[in-house]
Structure 1
Amino acid sequence: MNRLIKNYKAFLIPVGTIATLLLVTSIAKADQVTPDKVATAVDNVWVLVTAFLVFFMQAGFAMVEAGFTRAKNASNIVMKNLMDFAIGSVIFWLFGFAFMFGKDAGGFIGTSGFFLNDSFKHLGLSIPLTSFLMFQTVFAATAATIVSGAMAERTKFIAYCIYSAVISFIIYPVVGHWAWGGGWLSKLGFIDFAGSTVVHSVGGWCALIGAALLGPRIGKYTKDGKVNAIPGHSITLAALGTFILWFGWFGFNPGSTLSGMNEKIGDIAVNTNLAAAMGANLAMIYTWLKYKKPDVSMTLNGALAGLVAITAGCASVNPWGAAIIGGLAGILVVVAVEFIDKKLKIDDPVGAISVHGVCGAFGTLMVGLFALDGGLFYGGGIKQFLVQLAGVASTFVWTTVTAFILFAIIKITVGLRVSEEEEIEGLDVAEHGATAYSDFVMKSQAVK
């Protein structure tokens, strides 16, 4: 009997294998599967999965901002991060995507494809247009959400909804067109692979203008101009948000290849991780030496600074370059936070201006030095650095001017800031009629 079973298995296995191969072959022929279709399918899945990772970064931003601010404003922070994606998704689909990727008009802006009523064949995509739209939508939402942290704890919710919509509508898409949509910067050879300037600096510079016009939180500065620290309510939430953002960045940067078949995905992921790690390490060491103790919040921002800085050159530099760029960004963010806080007297509760604006610009410039192809340190001369400088400078001018106009209009119409009483009470109750921690007794944290 055992011998019969063995003979049966010996017969069945090859027959089953042949039948399986025939079945697969017949299905392939029936569906007319080709290598090109397989590659397109892989690219499509890759872009969508990485888009979902970038979408999850919204949760990271919400946790970082909530953790670095007071408990009485936590619901307001979460609501803002929810609504900038909800509002931005619709606005970008209707208008922003066309301004960014529509047919070029003089190198400045796209002029076709509103409401997605165009094939966008001029883009030469290897993936469905809707998948590309999804990927770009989560990027637009990232630019918009950066602003909320710098303006936290004193901004009217209606004002936030308005400026979030406008950023997704025109401010971000114009810069995106210059660099990624066939505009004048792309024709110069500007390198910003995943958006150190296009995404992060746009958000950072909008945050700079918004926070400056809004003014500091009550009690942030004493009468003689000294800084009075207002600690956030949960470093644990801030740390969780940082880990989520770090994780999501593996979609942000490698996903910008728009192809799962691209062999550089691994290189980009390693560069991204090294920059973040070095940013955290050097921020920790720098604060340890400066303050005699390693600062937790600065170390968290150091990791984010490294991620922001490497985003422009993650596909252009080697691991050594990535480590240096990330490490320097980790130090720079500490210096920038102190300068903006103490010298400029601009109150940024989460350090968004320094992390995204300053370190985004820094990382973009570093491509001109560390890029393996065209970087100054690799025999490419000064040309690429000057192109990078042009991109950083023009983005700063466009964003700050348009943001100033936007916030000034909001300020004289619906108003930009809540009343003093509402700020002291907390925006959770004043703006939303509910608290984030309803089972806890909240103590007043207003500084007299």
Structure 2
Amino acid sequence: MEEVTTIALEQAEMIHAIDSVWVAICAAIIFLMEGGFALLEAGFVRAKNAMSIIAKVMIDIAVGGLAFYIVGFGIAYGNSNGWFAFDIGITTEDLGLGLTVSNKLFWFIQLGFAIAAISIVSGAVAERMKVWAYAIFVFVFCAIMYPLAANWVWNPEGWLAVRGFNDFAGSSAVHAMGGFAALAAAIVLGPRIGKYQPDGTSNPIPGHNLPLAAVGGFILWFGWFGFNPGSTLSAVGNWELIGTVVTNTFLASAAGGVSTMLYTYFRYGQIDVTMAINGVLAGLVAITAGCNVVDSNSAIIIGLVAGVLVDVAVLFFDKIKIDDPVGAIAVHGINGLFGTIAVGLFASESGLFFGGGIDLLATQALGVLVIGSFSFLVTYLLMIILKKTVGVRVTPREERAGIDAVSFGVEAYTVFE
């Protein structure tokens, strides 16, 4: 009996070790996505504002990370009443998730999700938002706003989790949450100087370094293979699920890139490479909710739709004079919404298109609409408060000169005589 007990303990220890290595690697890959956000967004803005993007992403990590440690994680994964929890910090108690890794390691991988959500906003407010006002918003978002959505979706007692809501890696809790916050922030800030003519027509403001943006896009693409498979939270016993998630993630992203290329070619007569980058990201965002429950053919269809939807959404927001320099609202907000609802359509066993009825579709639609509305309304209110107090927008002089030189005293590219 003692020998059997020893073997069981050794097996349990091995499982903990393997799963810990798996989650730690995925968490590190997710953390690298911040470099992707920084390069993508910096490349899509003008050279005079590139370093301000870097500063905002550093604030996302540093301020957002501390906020999520001190307050956010406990709100998300503490003892929930269905809507929020009162715990502070990282509890040592069983979280009810069946984890085979420590709560601290689970916190670290969840940190990657929190700072990814807020990094979506940094691109939409680029070239015109005050850095300290942005830092305040980051703290509130990572301490309270995102954790509430995570509580609803991933806490075992969350009201959406109890309903059977399926958001495997965050199309709704991360991407729609960040995308609709970006929408509200962009509305309150208003467009950049010179973006729109008095007659309403749009002036293109091209990014200064599209290869840099492309590299950022590739880093994000790579990072998604930590983001989605890492959400299994264990490797032992999940080898088939991990394979499904990885395959679906790639197929949807590739399909998103292809459909954007085809759509822009037939619409404009040439392929828009900048939109193709966002098309890949749109496919990734859209498949993130259902990568665990759809088959490969469905993943391709979801990606194809997302790749067209992102271009249509970018044009729509530009038409109604919402200035989003990097297309964050279209990529993350609109496709987070679509991807979450797509689960209710394409889930292999319970989706509407596979004979599962309307129940899952209704739950998915309810969840993403509540999360998107919550994110938009709270962000809008907070931005108005910041606007009335510390101010949210740099002065016209700073905006024309460039935030880098005026606010940070540095430039991205120094010219040597």
When normalised by structure 1's length, the TM-score is 0.90
Give the direction of change, closer, same or farther, for the CA distance of 1:251–1:422 in structure 2 (3 Å limit).
Answer: same
Identity percentage over the alignment? Answer: 49
Contact 1:274 1:322 in 2 (8 A): yes
What is the one-letter code of the residue matched to 2:93? S
Cα distance in 1 for residues equivalent to 2:406 and 2:189: 18
Contact 1:143 1:203 in 2 (8 A): yes
Aligned with 2:85 (options 89, 93, 110): 110
Q: CA deviation at 1:121?
A: 4.2
Q: Give the corresponding residue for 1:180.
A: 154
Q: CA deviation at 1:254?
A: 0.3
The answer as to 2:141 corresponding to 1:167 is yes
Query: Which deviates the most, 30-39 or 396-405?
Result: 30-39
User: RMSD value over aligned CA atoms?
Assistant: 1.5
Per-residue CA distance 1:153-188 (angstroms, 9 max, x = gap): 000001111111111011111011001012100011
Aligned with 1:73 (options 37, 49, 72): 49
Q: CA deviation at 1:115?
A: 2.3
The answer as to 2:10 corresponding to 1:39 is no
Equivalence map 1:94-133=2 (5 Å): 94-105=70-81, 107-112=82-87, 114-133=88-107
Q: Give the corresponding residue for 1:12.
A: none
The answer as to 2:122 corresponding to 1:148 is yes
Q: Give the corresponding residue for 1:333.
A: 310
Q: Give the corresponding residue for 1:136.
A: 110
Q: CA deviation at 1:438?
A: 1.5
The answer as to 2:339 corresponding to 1:363 is yes
Cα distance in 2 for residues equivalent to 1:300 and 1:123: 35
> Which consecutive unaligned segments of at least 5 residues does structure 1 have?
1-28, 442-448
Q: Give the corresponding residue for 2:177.
A: 202
Q: CA deviation at 1:125?
A: 1.8
Cα distance in 2 for residues equivalent to 1:121 and 1:349: 40
Contact 1:145 1:164 in 2 (8 A): no
Per-residue CA distance 1:333-364 (angstroms, 9 max, x = gap): 0000000011x210000000000000011000
The answer as to 2:217 corresponding to 1:242 is yes
Q: CA deviation at 1:120?
A: 3.8
What is the one-letter code of the residue matched to 2:287? I
Contact 1:43 1:259 in 2 (8 A): yes
Q: CA deviation at 1:284?
A: 0.4
The answer as to 2:214 corresponding to 1:230 is no
Per-residue CA distance 1:23-53 (angstroms, 9 max, x = gap): xxxxxx9998622221111111111100000
Contact 1:102 1:120 in 2 (8 A): no
Cα distance in 1 for residues equivalent to 2:75 and 2:235: 27
Q: CA deviation at 1:224?
A: 0.8
Corresponding residue pairs, total: 411
Contact 1:159 1:414 in 2 (8 A): yes
Aligned with 1:378 (options 343, 350, 354): 354
Q: Give the corresponding residue for 1:304.
A: 281
Give the direction of change, closer, same or farther, for the CA distance of 1:376–1:162 in structure 2 (3 Å limit).
Answer: same
Q: Give the corresponding residue for 1:86.
A: 62
Contact 2:91 2:103 in 1 (8 A): no
Q: CA deviation at 1:377?
A: 1.1
Q: CA deviation at 1:119?
A: 2.1
Give the direction of change, closer, same or farther, for the CA distance of 1:440–1:381 in structure 2 (3 Å limit).
Answer: farther
Q: Give the corresponding residue for 1:316.
A: 293
Cα distance in 2 for residues equivalent to 1:185 and 1:30: 41
Could you say what secondary structure the match of 2:282 adopts? helix
Cα distance in 2 for residues equivalent to 1:397 and 1:348: 19
Query: Which deviates the most, 69-78 or 31-40?
Result: 31-40
Q: CA deviation at 1:124?
A: 3.3
Q: Give the corresponding residue for 1:346.
A: 322
What is the one-letter code of the residue matched to 2:296? P
Q: CA deviation at 1:101?
A: 0.4
Cα distance in 2 for residues equivalent to 1:99 and 1:400: 20
Equivalence map 1:265-304=2 (5 Å): 265-304=242-281
Q: Give the corresponding residue for 2:230.
A: 255
> Which consecutive unaligned segments of at least 5 residues does structure 2 have?
none
Cα distance in 1 for residues equivalent to 2:415 and 2:55: 20
Cα distance in 1 for residues equivalent to 2:73 and 2:235: 23
What is the one-letter code of the residue matched to 2:146? Y
The answer as to 2:25 corresponding to 1:49 is yes
What is the one-letter code of the residue matched to 2:252? A
Q: Which runs of 4+ in 1 moved over 4 A?
A: 29-33
Q: CA deviation at 1:118?
A: 4.1
What is the one-letter code of the residue matched to 2:313? A
